[in-house]
Structure 1
Amino acid sequence: MSSNTPRQPVRDLRFFLTVPHACSYLAGREATTLFLDPQESPGQGVYDSLALLGFRRSGRHLYRPHCEGCNACISVRLPVEEFARSRSQRRLARRNADLTLHLRPAIFDPEHYSLYSRYICTRHADGDMYPPSHEQYRTFLTLDQEYARLMEFRLEGQLVAVAAYDQLEHGLSAIYTFFAPDPELERRSLGTFAVLTLVEQARRRGLPHVYLGYWISECRKMAYKRDFQPLEMLDGRHWRRLINS
């Protein structure tokens, strides 16, 4: 079956729209979100199908933007076999060769939360995820599903980064990465290194894609996604190469 074709019908599922709210990415814009009925369990089959249609996961919720008069949010993914690291990405991989990787289920861990809290308070104190809380962390990044996973990165035993991701039938989906906001670690670009690691994990599993979420050309915080080439974008119900990438 082609990875561009949802593996099961979704027409019998129920969806809801949020009321318009301030856009988190573009100043002065309003956003509306389409999300799967919370009573529906985000099981593997449903998730695999909806991911091909641009849906993302946050906790138990599967969602995608559905904003009137705005198509700024573009779903993007990386074709694993066509990806080749750039020169700077190869240097970055060598710089982080001393990190150890541990794969874990997406369950609550106090050590993870402590790092997450430091990350939010230091780097995103002006955002809607501030202030962090145990409940916020649990509902966002933990899930009792086999496909929900975490990658730990440690330096000499010390936790320096955690990347949440999902394993789908047709790829790995990056959910969120947080890392130690320490100046001495800045040269490691741990967010970028987490994506490079996801690509390698997908390649080892024989999975064709790494899903990088949404890209907005006007959003500076999302500019890093264009450093991963080639990128594919969702155009309606079909994935195609991002033009002028």
Structure 2
Amino acid sequence: MRHTLPIAPQFYVTAPQPCPYLDGRMERKLFTALQGENATTLNDSLSQQGFRRSQNVLYRPSCSECSACLSARIDVSKFVPSKSQKRVIRRNTSLSRRATSPWATEAQYDLFRTYLDSRHADGGMADMDVFEFAAMIEETPIRSRVIEYTDDDSKDLTAVSLTDVLSDGLSMVYSFYKPDMPRNSFGTYLILDHIEIAREANLPYVYLGYWVPGSQKMGYKANFSGLEVYTDGAWTPMDDPERFRARRHPLSTDPIAEQVANISLPDTRPTT
């Protein structure tokens, strides 16, 4: 019997472009394709090493000027809601959750456009049309869900999260919501509800994307207890945000070849 040997993932680096989080910096990403029969295994493994999924690509920041972007996740067993987070939960009791397959709808896109125009009009996704939006939602080679939140009174679609289901947790790929109700803190509520979903499913972690010391856009993630960040090849409790500021220094970045060499790839060889 002939066996086809699996092809090891190839890693590439994007061209530098302005950093969306720290003024005056340039960002660069290390990435690989997510495809084939081993896509789920690769996604699980690299997510546990600080990578994120965007459609059929896995990427991780690999900037030459700093290494401030740190992958963040919440250890569900160690999370305890703060008083303000409990208030957020109470303010959103009128929301109903519905998990669906990754399929884009007009209502989702309308909410997405409203969110972008209000919050990220000058961001990299500002010009995304309905077809690109559908690709973001639907092009996934792994187990993904669209989690919709609808208001029980108005029946309006209020918030949406594109969420991947990993072997050890939930990964919040992208979220958007009504931007004109700041008192409800929908961004915080979505994370709190994903913690509850993970707890119900006996999954230990909720992956949040990147936390960046010194970035106002990403600072809210430090408000969650049980937060861990991936640094120096391991997940570390984020007990004091200040101690991570040194990662903004240029000398904190390893060479690309060393970064790739230190990536652990899953064993996908066929068993006999």
Residue identity over aligned pairs, in percent, reads 37
Give the match for residue 252 of structure 2.
none
Once the two structures are superposed, residues 43-72 of structure 1 have per-residue CA deviations (whole angstroms, 9 ceiling, x without a partner) of 211100010110001112110111113111
Q: Distance in 2 between matches of 1:130 and 1:181?
A: 15
CA contact (8 A) 2:73 2:207 kept: yes
- 2:87 maps to which of 73, 86, 91: 91
1:56 aligns with 2:57: no
1:195 aligns with 2:180: no
Give the match for residue 7 of structure 1.
none
Q: How far 1:124 moved relative to its partner?
A: 1.2
Q: Distance in 2 between matches of 1:73 and 1:237?
A: 14
Give the match for residue 181 of structure 1.
179
- 2:160 maps to which of 159, 162, 165: 162
Q: How far 1:31 moved relative to its partner?
A: 1.1
Normalised by the size of structure 2, how large is the TM-score?
0.81
Q: Distance in 1 between matches of 2:77 and 2:166?
A: 17
Give the match for residue 127 of structure 2.
131
Q: Secondary structure at the match of 1:140?
A: helix
1:28 aligns with 2:24: yes
Letter in 1 for 2:217: K
Structure 1 pair 42–132 and aligned structure 2 pair: CA distance change class (3 A)? farther
Give the match for residue 205 of structure 1.
201
Normalised by the size of structure 1, how large is the TM-score?
0.90
Q: Distance in 2 between matches of 1:38 and 1:200?
A: 28
Give the match for residue 172 of structure 1.
170
Q: How far 1:119 moved relative to its partner?
A: 1.0
RMSD of the alignment, in Å? 1.9
Q: Distance in 2 between matches of 1:72 and 1:22?
A: 14
Letter in 2 for 1:112: Q
Give the match for residue 18 of structure 1.
14
Give the match for residue 249 of structure 2.
none
Q: Distance in 1 between matches of 2:113 and 2:105?
A: 12
Q: Secondary structure at the match of 1:214?
A: strand
Uncovered stretches (5+) of structure 2, i.e. residues with no partner: 1-5, 242-272
1:105 aligns with 2:101: yes
Structure 1 pair 13–89 and aligned structure 2 pair: CA distance change class (3 A)? same
Uncovered stretches (5+) of structure 1, i.e. residues with no partner: 1-9
Structure 1 pair 70–224 and aligned structure 2 pair: CA distance change class (3 A)? same
Letter in 1 for 2:137: L
1:149 aligns with 2:173: no
CA contact (8 A) 1:120 1:132 kept: no
1:240 aligns with 2:236: yes
Q: How far 1:164 moved relative to its partner?
A: 1.2
CA contact (8 A) 2:16 2:28 kept: yes
- Structure with greater contact order relative to length (CA < 8 Å, sep ≥ 6): 2
Structure 1 pair 126–41 and aligned structure 2 pair: CA distance change class (3 A)? farther
CA contact (8 A) 1:102 1:152 kept: yes
Q: How far 1:230 moved relative to its partner?
A: 2.1
Q: Distance in 2 between matches of 1:230 and 1:151?
A: 23
Structure 1 pair 41–188 and aligned structure 2 pair: CA distance change class (3 A)? farther
